[in-house]
Amino acid sequence: MEFFGQTEKALFISRPNRFTITCSLNGTIVSAFLPNPGRLWELLLPGAPVYVERVKDPSRDLRFTAVAVEREGERVVLHTLRTNDVARYLVETNSIPGLEGYEVIQNEVPRGHSRFDFLLKKGNRRLLLEVKSCTLFSKRVAMFPDAVTSRGTRHLRELAHMSTSRSISAVLFLIHSPRPDFFLPDFHTDLEFARAMLDARERVVFLPVAVRWRRDLSLRSSEAKLLRIPWQILEKELQDRGCYLLILRLPADTELRIGSLGHVRLRSGFYAYIGSARKNLFRRIERHRRLRKKFFWHIDFLRAVSEFLVALPVRSEDDLECDLAGALGSMADWSQPGFGSSDCHCPSHLFGFENDPLNIGSFHTLLQYFRIERFIDKYQLIRKPAPSPK
| 158-175 confidence digits (pLDDT tens) | 999 988 767 899 999 999
> Which residues are within 8 A (CB) of 83 and not within 5 positions of it... i.e. 6 or more apart?
131, 132, 133, 174
Instruction: Tell me the C-alpha distance between 382 and 385, whole Å.
Output: 10
The CATH number given to 81-237 is 3.40.1350.60
3-state secondary structure of 298: helix
Q: Is 8-74 a CATH 2.40.50.580 domain?
A: yes
Find the mean pLDDT for residues 324-332.
Answer: 96
Is the pLDDT score of 9 beyond 90? Answer: yes
Phi, psi of 297 (to 5 degrees): -100, 160
Q: What is the reported pLDDT for 166? A: 75
Confidence of residue 115 (pLDDT cuts 50, 70, 90): very high
Domain residue limits, the chain: 8-74, 81-237, 242-359
Per-residue confidence band for 1, with pLDDT thresholds at 50, 70 and 90: confident
pLDDT (mean) for 277-294: 93
CA atoms of 213 and 219, how far apart (whole Å): 5
SS (H, E, C) 229-256: CCHHHHHHHCCCCEEEEEEEEECCCEEE
pLDDT at residue 388, as a whole number: 75
Per-residue CA distances from 4 to 1, 8, 57, 82, 217 (Å)? 10, 11, 16, 9, 7
Q: Do domains 8-74 and 81-237 have the same CATH topology?
A: no
Q: Among 118, 179, 97, which Cα is nearest to 143's?
A: 179
Residue positions counted in the chain = 390
Model pTM score = 0.93
Predicted local confidence at residue 222, as pLDDT: 87
| Predicted confidence (pLDDT) per residue in 330-359, tens digit | 999 999 999 999 889 999 999 999 999 999
d(CA 218, CA 198): 34
- Measure the CA–CA gap between 175 and 323, rounded to whole angstroms: 30
Q: In this predicted model, what pLDDT tens digit does every residue of 24-46 receive, in sequence order?
A: 999 999 999 999 999 999 999 99
Give the per-residue pLDDT at 165. 67
Q: What is the pLDDT of residues 179-194, one digit of tens each?
A: 999 999 999 999 999 9
What value does the mean pLDDT take over residues 85-105? 95
Q: What is the DSSP letter of 373?
A: I
Alpha-carbon distance 178 to 223, whole Å? 8
The amino acid at residue 31 is S
